[in-house]
Chains A and B, each alone.
Chain A
């Protein structure tokens, strides 16, 4: 394993998340982009039999990469070598019965309690400033997987105190039992939030977002400057491991040769 010195922010987050994935756990992954690429990278290098499933009911595929950006579901390549082809309601029911350890999502906006907005920005519900796609498959994932992992970029407009709309649930208002009172399964909720520059968790008592680790090329202050609220700060700040050359080669040559999803600001160490 050779430490890389030049990579994009997107590559950094993909590699960090890929390294977090576990062979004996199950994942429900929605959307294309970094979260899907992280599972493919983990599969290519570390966990060939990764138990990741997608919203269209494909169980543990070994996709015929590269996948075109819009063809991350249903397509023959995306579904290739799965162990079962089921349906949306089947994977949803598997989440409901507790089969999914982790849900992985990318998000437009997140608040201190890990609530997610993917519906609109600005204005109000009936007069949205800019309307987006809706809760999609994120709501069921964030509601019913045991632990939710979020991916986003480190920007002030992404980390907001109060969101225009909650599309998918985090710890809601953070009060004890808030999720259960809303009808969600006990013992579920946000677990980690990754950006290219940081990893966050949530305080066990208050459910408030907590900065746990930062990338090598930033300081804590740099991260806080790119947030609209101040998270709790872990007493001992960990450092995220930068990508290796092997990981970057797989990403750039096999998984995204056209560089569609791995673009981003360049980091030079």
Chain B
């Protein structure tokens, strides 16, 4: 296949489908074994310095907020992050020194991120939201790249690590995106059993591709349900157990974000988070991190001491739309 043009961006992981297969063969548990653990244990066991990390959705929409806070709390280093369809998580991770490479689909750019970009402490490679989910799709298919009909012709191509090739069949130009197999991914779900059979209700970004492409997978769940319920209604299972390495029970785990059908987003808390991210002095983010992450040991402490039962109940009360989720 003729390669006509190449983006100049950094590719953190060269696609390695055989290496990925070998990892899966060696490391992923096939047996139905209980994987329930605390967020501290899950993150310390399965998120390593230098990992490429992905997550589904974001901190305001059914994202794994409690797990992200734990990654920050544990002070992971040199992570690469797949930043697509996201607002503040990349800024939080960059601002706390967890990240040194960002693949960009769409990210919220806050003061901390601007600072580390200026200082040259992180590398950035351009893509687009769907370019990132298609890269995960290729990773989930176990193939080294995927041809797509977008990205081409733009700066997003020039500063990506994509290639323009001549398709051997149509003889037309086509963009090739390298597969992405993250080292670890974080997904927050509505329900999950102790083995990792997980249910997501409602719209998502790319939960399947994120789960299936990843080497390690931590699922946080609003509630743990009995496997009997999973077996009675298998059509509802979004992720089967053997893709999952850890199951973390995390009610209100998306807070300050929404989980559809269960609770609405906490708008004042989101405004506080966004303001902290925008604050150019840096002290706003410092204060936020201290108050909501470093000074609480667990997600439960965060809920009890920083959010409070009254607000949580109110968020639950306001989630009036149940159709499609629990009805």
Q: Please give the residue numbers on chain A whose beta carbons come within 8 Å of chain B beta carbons, in ascending order.
A: 55-58, 64, 68, 70-71, 73-77, 79-82, 85-89, 92, 96, 115, 119, 125, 127-128, 131-140, 143-144, 165-169, 172, 178-185
Contacts and interface: CB of A to CB of B under 8 A. Distances in A.
Interface of B: 57, 60-62, 83, 85, 87, 104-109, 113-114, 117-118, 126-131, 133-134, 137, 148-157, 159, 164, 172-175, 202-209, 258, 260-261, 264-265, 267, 270, 319, 321, 323-325
Contact of B133 (A89, A125, A185): A89
A83 B256 CA distance: 28
Contacts of B155: 119, 125, 165-167
A29 B231 CA distance: 38
A131 to B, nearest CB: 5
Given A75-B265, A79-B203, A140-B130, A96 B148 contact: yes
A70 B58 CA distance: 11
A132 B61 contact: no
A89 to B, nearest CB: 5
A127 B120 CA distance: 9
B152 A183 contact: yes
Contacts of A179: 153
A74 B62 contact: yes
Contacts of A125: 155, 159
A89 B129 contact: no
B84 to A, nearest CB: 8
A131 B260 contact: no
User: Main secondary structure on chain A at its contact with chain B?
Assistant: loop
B164 A183 contact: yes
Contact of A139 (B57, B117, B151): B151
A134 B57 contact: no
14 contacts: A58-B203, A71-B258, A74-B204, A81-B323, A85-B204, A88-B130, A89-B134, A96-B150, A131-B109, A135-B105, A139-B154, A143-B150, A181-B153, A183-B173
A236 to B, nearest CB: 33
Contacts of A178: 153
